[in-house]
Amino acid sequence: MDTAKLPIQTQSRRWDVIVVGGGTAGAIAAISAARAGAKTLVVEALGSLGGTGTNAQVTPLMRNISGGVNLNRSLTDELKTRLCQRGDGAADKGGNDNWFNPEGMKYVLEQMLLESSGEPLYHTHFVVPELSPSPAGKRKVGGIIVHNKDGLVRLEAHTFVDATGDADLAVRAGAPFEAGDETGLHQAMSLRFMLGGVDTARLCTFLAQHGQGQESPQFMHFWMVWGKKSSLEPLFHQGVEEGLLKERDGDYFQGFSVPGMPGTLSFNCPRLDAEINDGADAWTLSKAQTDGRAAIDRLVQFLRVHFEGCQQSFIASYAPMVGVRETRRIVGEYVLTLEDILSCKTFVDAVCRNHYPVDIHTPKGQKLLHQRSGDLPYFKPDAFHEIPYRSLVPLGLSNVLVPGRCASASFEAQSAIRVQQNCHSMGEAAGLAAAWCAGEGLEVRQVDGLKLRQALRKRGANL
């Protein structure tokens, strides 16, 4: 894009590392880079860090364990510990330490960044990169144009981390990418919400009477999906018959308690209309908000009528962000595949281990899970596969790294590695590598992946 004639202000400061997007991978990447000594800026469109975990209200974290041990450690462990110290995180009797309060996470991530001397720039949207050739023949991002209350502003850095979740920077800089399955269809999107004013003790009793016993009002999880033998399915059929619900409102329903928010539940639903499918399209995202809020209103009316303890409930919040599972995926130096996952492939430059299953949510209302048992190595309880550093390095760009849900992977493989804790681990690796690039004058593919792995292990990573 020719920006020469646009009224662009050039920020007088220059950073070592700029992280574009302060979400799940981006917040951790910025903290990681800053702790490695890099002068770090994170550019975020909203007013807080955390993305999916905070502004999309995706709680709790999905478990990612092998042999009973968490696979995502280091900064993820620190985040959980600090949340627990504030009362915004908790572990249940089963040892699941992934329960958290999205509002508390906003504050903890911000404090971790500021204490590391990182700098946030909120309410700022990435617009376009400025490119120049690099000595190795790859395209180099010399700076980015952003838009905020100051207008169009140029920000410059040595190395960039694209943590937009949709590979916006990498794609606009010309990196190759894929999107959706072989037909272009993306995973289903959701709009989460929080329900306040719930008598959770009464609700626990009600759920137990309907076949879904709970540990306690502090640790609740209940669900219904059509045709999946949920004991709550008859209630949903009744809701449809009464006109409280549409048929699609039962495609996916899931509720959780939230630490530090007594009387409040977080819902991983509603699933959006099947035609609302591409989370990288602005018009689609707008439709997602309106469709989601209408579906939430139906669900709340249904809960008030049919679920004991919800009679006096109210909508505490709609998630500001749509819950997007998958959009663009870069084509990187290595493309992780389903075969890599099922064969438990390992790499010398591994930056993350994963045992979360292949988990594809289709927009047609059916949740597809590849087999969870069998003779393949991945089905053993102590199994895992690894994600290599090379999957964060996009083809064609010399100074950009892409961690998180848009890392280089096939459609099937992405559905297994996209969960938040894996995004933390990939973000931490990208931040450290970016700091090394800035400090030593390296291009991203010149980073020694084995040394990066060793450094991450010293930080506490499970590698």
Residue 374 CB-density burial (10 A; 0-12 exposed, 13-18 middle, 19+ buried): exposed
Taking the C-alpha atoms of residue 246 and residue 223, their distance in angstroms, rounded to an integer, is 17
Contacts of 89-96 with C-beta under 8 Å, sequence gap 24+, read 89/259, 90/218, 90/219, 90/259, 92/215, 92/219, 93/215, 93/219, 94/215, 95/68, 96/60, 96/63
Task: Let me know the angle formed at the C-alpha of 90 by 64 and 188, rounded to the nearest 5 degrees.
Answer: 50
Domains in the chain: boundaries? 8-182+328-458, 193-318
Whether 409 shows a pLDDT value over 80: the answer reads yes
Mean pLDDT computed over every residue of the chain = 95
Looking at residue 74, what DSSP letter applies? T
Q: What is the pTM of this model?
A: 0.95
Residues 6+ apart with CB under 8 A from 239: 245, 249, 250, 302, 305, 306
Q: End-to-end CA distance of the chain, in Å?
A: 41
Taking the C-alpha atoms of residue 405 and residue 418, their distance in angstroms, rounded to an integer, is 5
Taking the C-alpha atoms of residue 43 and residue 60, their distance in angstroms, rounded to an integer, is 25
Q: What is the pLDDT of residues 118-132, one digit of tens each?
A: 999 999 999 999 998
Task: Please compute the mean of the pLDDT values over residues 43-60 and round it to a whole number.
Answer: 98
Q: What is the pLDDT of residues 172-215, one digit of tens each?
A: 999 999 999 998 889 999 999 999 999 999 999 999 999 999 99
pLDDT value at residue 250: 95
Whether 376 shows a pLDDT value over 90: the answer reads no
DSSP-derived 3-state class of residue 292: helix
Taking the C-alpha atoms of residue 408 and residue 413, their distance in angstroms, rounded to an integer, is 9
Residue with token string 């959706």: 180
pLDDT value at residue 332: 98
pLDDT value at residue 132: 86
Residues 6+ apart with CB under 8 A from 12: none
HSE-up of residue 425 (Cα within 13 Å, Cβ side): 28
pLDDT value at residue 12: 82
Asked if 21 and 44 touch (Cβ cutoff 8 Å), the reply is yes
Task: Let me know the angle formed at the C-alpha of 299 by 298 and 304, rounded to the nearest 5 degrees.
Answer: 100
Taking the C-alpha atoms of residue 441 and residue 433, their distance in angstroms, rounded to an integer, is 12
Task: Please compute the mean of the pLDDT values over residues 276-301 and round it to a whole number.
Answer: 96
Nearest to 351 by CA among 426, 415, 451, 407: 426
Whether 85 shows a pLDDT value over 70: the answer reads yes
Question: Tokens at residue 216, please?
Answer: 């306690």
pLDDT value at residue 367: 52
Nearest to 221 by CA among 263, 253, 260: 253
Task: Please compute the mean of the pLDDT values over residues 405-416 and round it to a whole number.
Answer: 96
Q: Which CATH class is domain 8-182+328-458?
A: alpha beta
Whether 452 shows a pLDDT value over 80: the answer reads yes
Q: What is the pLDDT of residues 320-374, one digit of tens each?
A: 999 999 999 999 999 999 999 999 999 999 999 999 999 988 876 555 555 566 7
Q: How far is CA 16 from CA 10, 131, 148, 434, 440, in A?
A: 16, 17, 21, 8, 11
Residues 6+ apart with CB under 8 A from 275: none
pLDDT value at residue 363: 74
